[in-house]
Amino acid sequence: MAKKTIYVSGLLNFETILNVDSFPIKYFPIDYPFFGIDSTVSGTAYNISKALVTLGDKILLSSHIGNDLIGKTIIQEAKASKINTENIKTSLESTPNTVVLVDSYKNAQTYCDLKNVQDIESDFEEEKALIEQSDLVILCNSNFSRPLLEKTKKLGKKIATDVHIIGTVDDPFNKDFLKYSDIVFLSERGLHGKNYEDFLIDLYHTYHNEIIVLGEGREGAMILDSKKRIVYHVDAITIRNIVNTVGSRDALFSSFLHFYLKGKDSLEALKLAEIFTSYKIGESGSAKGFLKEKDVKTMHSTTDFAVYKIKEF
């Protein structure tokens, strides 16, 4: 099957992961965690783009960075990963930077300095040519992607987004992304005390998305398929020992889109994405540990999944 072309608009940043013993952190003036600090290029757009390139897709990446050392490092790493960088603009005062603390139980605490990225917008006319040649348009929920939503939809393009943590169907920041996206991912972390499947069904009745996937962390994932009118749950699997779960949601999102775009049934695409993600978290770094498509398929043939039909609607 021909290689798919995917447009990605989203955040690029530099990420430093620090391994700590536990939370809360007791104060001490200095520590020497040998091989306990890892710094890499990251950001949702980079993580997604690198995962998709590894799986065999062609990526057209659009984002905003600063004209600084970190920004130049991002461009260099993206080029090395065979990601098109022509539409990365040096329009920020400085490049976003992230620090992630990870304890011995793999709990992560993230500090994300977005700089002034939320104050700018992408120009649809500058993006239009790339969007038109894409088989799928991924618009991550950064403010600068917002002006692209409605006009991309009018072009008849399929849109995918990850709104991360929301607690209400009409979440004010993410409402536009929910409204215009065909494929929506979100996390269970904002839904404490809520019935997950009912929440997904409420989302569907509000926005009529084609696919909605709820990441449940170590419990697995839940998927609503509007064509089948069924909500399924797939238990998490273990491919290799967990080293770091940072970037796991981007891995699940990107690998699902890759296989779904290539014609896989939604449930099968989620199973393949679970394999991709489970293998990825055996390595530290949001944009590390990615499998090639053939390796995912090989593992799929020997992996058992626990799948439950949760609800018809």
Q: What is the pLDDT of residues 78-88, one digit of tens each?
A: 999 999 899 99
| Average pLDDT taken over every residue of the chain | 96
> Dihedrals φ, ψ of 45, to 5°?
-65, -40
The more confidently predicted of residues 1 and 248 is: 248
Cβ neighbours of 160 (radius 10 Å)? 28
Between CA 166 and CA 146 the distance in angstroms is 17
Task: Kindly list the structural domains of the chain, giving each domain's residue range(s) and its CATH number in brackets, ordered by start.
Answer: 5-24+35-312 (3.40.1190.20)
Three-class secondary structure of residue 117 per DSSP: helix
Between CA 70 and CA 173 the distance in angstroms is 28
pLDDT at residue 285, as a whole number: 87
Pairing of strands 97-102, 13-19: parallel
What CA–CA distances, in Å, run from 10 to 27, 137, 171, 301? 35, 11, 19, 34
- Confidence (pTM): 0.95
Band (pLDDT 50/70/90 cuts) for residue 1 is low
